[in-house]
Amino acid sequence: MTIEIKDLYKQFGKNQVLKGIDLSIGEGRIYAILGPNGSGKTTLIKSILGMVIPDKGHITVLERPVKKDWKYRKKIDYLPQIANFPPNIKVKELIHMIKDLRNSPSAEEDLIQLFGLGPFLGKKLSTLSGGTKQKVNIVLTFMFDSPLIILDEPTTGLDPMALIHLKQLILREKAQGKTILITSHIMQFVEEMADKILYLLEGEIYFQGSIVELLEQTGAPDFEHAVAALTITENHAEDS
């Protein structure tokens, strides 16, 4: 198992965000974590990364317990949701800096070329547009060779061409047997990429399975409606 989560609880103030998550994530697959806004997707991801400290529960990543450890993060590539970098630094300096900090072999040249970032290398990050920043973000994530990749809203701000490249990249990494976790609100993207769906609702895993299983269970005509149906069923249950 790449990731094992047992009985995970997290509360922010009065807001109970995660209410006992149990989850095993196997190797070599693409998992999509879905759920309405505020359902705990990012909190779950950040708990795996050790950025959020759980109130209760146990997480292991590649057989190593996450608590009070930081070296396991060498095995994770993480794409954060909002790419906001130090403003005074140039793109190539940032890439160099992350390489320096991680101290592992990297393959940024191809990625820079793929996303056409060449002309931006000498520019300061504060002068870049949102989409270009996201491309830099993607380069920073994919330039390392780690067995686990976590992408939080990877499609934000990307133009169609870059989106195609991103999809190719993800599939290439999958072909190498890597485990990939994605959150996204773009259902078309999820449908195309994901092998398994994890649907979070109010801090619990509400559905877990493949897209086919999801369609069967909800009886909806397509994936987008099936995901929407998951939310609606729950709302009805609450109303009654």
Partner 1 sequence: MLKILKYSFYDLIRSRWSYVYFLFYLILGFVLLFLNNDVSKAVITLMNVIIVLIPLIGTIFGVMYYYNSREFTELLLAQPIKRSSIFMGQYLGVSGSLALSLVLGLGIPFVLYGLLQSNAIFDFSLLLVTGSFLTFIFVGLSFIIAISNENRIKGFGYAVLLWLFLAVVYDGLFLMSLIVFEEYPLDTFSLVATMLNPIDLSRILILLKLDISALLGYTGAIFKKFFGTDLGFLVSMAILFLWTVLPILGLEYKARKKDF
Taking CB under 8 A as the criterion, the residue among 38, 51, 58, 232 binding partner 1 is: 51
Structure tokens at 217: 């269970």
Which 115-144 positions form the footprint of partner 1 (CB under 8 A)? 140
| 164 scored as a contact of partner 1 (CB under 8 A) | no
Taking CB under 8 A as the criterion, the residue among 14, 37, 63, 70 binding partner 1 is: 70
Structure tokens at 239: 């109303």
Residue 101 — left, alpha, or beta (φ > 0 → left; ψ -120 to 50 → alpha)?
Answer: alpha
φ, ψ of residue 176 in degrees (nearest 5) = -85, 10
| 52 scored as a contact of partner 1 (CB under 8 A) | yes
Quote the least distance from Cβ 141 to partner 1, whole Å: 9
| 88 scored as a contact of partner 1 (CB under 8 A) | yes
Q: Are 90 and 122 in contact (CB under 8 A)?
A: yes
Largest CA distance in the chain: 59
Quote the least distance from Cβ 232 to partner 1, whole Å: 31
Q: Which of 30, 42, 66 is nearest to 175 (CA)?
A: 30
Structure tokens at 185: 């609100």
The stretch near partner 1 (CB under 8 A) out of 48-56, 108-116, 222-230, 232-240 is 48-56
For binding to partner 1 (CB under 8 A), which residues are involved? Answer: 10, 12, 46, 49-53, 70-74, 76, 78, 80, 82-89, 97-98, 100-102, 140
